[in-house]
């Protein structure tokens, strides 16, 4: 950031958080966020948003404040429903983090090839005769999760993705269980 800007550093962080999460790897933005967290948190709170900052995991994002007994809350964003395939993929990636954190306590990055991501999801999909369409649907789900910041393409030539730790914050254990139950019901209905 330019030192001769008339805007405070926190303004750049606020704008970035409106667009996407901030990760520890974005060192300058992360350090500014940590040093200005109270001001940034207050700014978002006045807009009906909550700053979610997890220093241990190394990410920050904003989410809509939900309050019971409050009639009007300013809404900055709309909830966007994910397709079945994208929801399934997100649940699979969250489950992968459960396994990853248990079996690799010293590792911080969960890396998957496109094929490995396909393999995670395909186990839950009914077999069809149109493999091209099936692959296309999973690729579309992968792209949607890249767009939402849950996956980051780190090697385009080898098709390698990093699963972003924010997946853990977006889908807690309760939500994961609910998604699993809906997926099982869908699979049972598709099998009949």
pLDDT in tens, 15-36: 999 888 899 988 999 999 999 9
- β-sheet bridge partners, residue 161: 112, 153
Total number of domains in the chain: 2
Question: Does residue 73 sit within a domain?
Answer: no
- The DSSP secondary-structure symbol of 16 reads H
**Do residues 168 and 120 both lie within one domain?**
yes
- Residue 76: inside a domain: no
Both 115 and 170 in one domain: the answer is yes
Q: Does 157 reside within a domain?
A: yes
> Does 102 reside within a domain?
yes
Structure tokens at 115: 């094929």
Q: Is the Cβ–Cβ distance between 129 and 143 less than 8 Å?
A: no
141-190 pLDDT per residue, tens: 999 999 888 899 998 888 999 999 888 887 777 777 777 777 777 666 66
Sign of the dihedral defined by the CA atoms of residues 136, 140, 86, 89, in that order: positive
CATH number for the domain spanning 159: value is 1.10.10
pTM of the model: 0.72
């Amino acid at each position: 950031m330019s030192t001769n800007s008339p805007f405070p550093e926190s303004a750049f962080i606020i704008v970035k958080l409106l667009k996407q999460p901030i990760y520890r790897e974005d060192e300058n933005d992360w350090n500014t966020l940590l040093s200005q967290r109270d001001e940034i948190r207050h700014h978002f709170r006045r807009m009906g948003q909550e700053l979610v900052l997890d220093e241990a995991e190394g990410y920050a994002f904003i989410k809509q404040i939900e309050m019971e007994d409050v009639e009007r809350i300013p809404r900055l964003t709309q909830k966007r429903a994910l397709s079945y395939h994208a929801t399934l993929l997100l649940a699979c990636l969250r489950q992968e983090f459960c396994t990853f954190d248990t079996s690799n306590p010293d590792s911080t990055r969960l890396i998957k090839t496109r094929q490995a991501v396909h393999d995670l999801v395909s186990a839950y999909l009914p077999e069809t005769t149109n493999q091209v369409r099936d692959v296309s649907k999973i690729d579309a789900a992968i792209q949607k999760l890249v767009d939402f910041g849950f996956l980051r393409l780190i090697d385009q030539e080898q098709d390698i993705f990093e699963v972003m730790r924010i997946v853990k914050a977006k889908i807690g254990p309760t939500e994961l269980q609910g998604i699993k139950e809906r997926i099982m019901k869908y699979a049972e209905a598709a099998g009949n």
